[in-house]
Amino acid sequence: MTREMLRAKVHRITVTERNVEYEGSLTLDAALMEAGDMIPFERVEIYDVDNGNRFATYLIEGERGSGACCVNGAAARLVEEGHKLILATYCAVDEPAARSHRPKVVLVDSGNHISAVKDHEGPGVRVGA
């Protein structure tokens, strides 16, 4: 048996741009992708903290150090610039390994630059705590 586990996430990144005319995807700063061990064309689930929208797309590598988080294509209609998003990827983990699995949790500052990378989250931990 396998379990679907959180593999990596970028927590509360700010949307820097939205582009409806693009074919699709989410453009993300290459440094953030690297910190979360994410690769181009990988499926990513997106959770909009500001309006509750949830959707899936794939990643496109953006300029390293730019802080880019651009939602493209039809999904651009689901967010606004300045919204906070959670970007999450998942993986299938065999049952024995699932008990010790640890995700990569990438925290960002107000400019979408890495402020910390963790391998855990705790219950009741509030944003900014």
Q: What is the pLDDT of residues 23-42, one digit of tens each?
A: 779 999 999 999 999 999 99
Catalytic residue selected from 22, 47, 58, 90: 58
Encode pLDDT of 53-76 as tens digits.
999 999 999 999 999 999 999 999
Reported confidence tier of residue 126, pLDDT bands at 50, 70, 90: low
- Mean pLDDT in residue range 100-106: 96
- Mean pLDDT in residue range 84-109: 96
State yes or no: is 90 an active-site residue: no
Residue 31 parent element (H or E): helix 30-35
State yes or no: is 22 an active-site residue: no
User: Going from the N-terminus, what domains does the chain have, and what CATH number goes with each?
Assistant: 2-118 (2.40.40.20)
Catalytic residue selected from 22, 25, 47, 110: 25
Between the alpha carbon of residue 42 and those of residues 7, 14, 29, 34, 98, the distances in Å are: 12, 20, 14, 12, 21
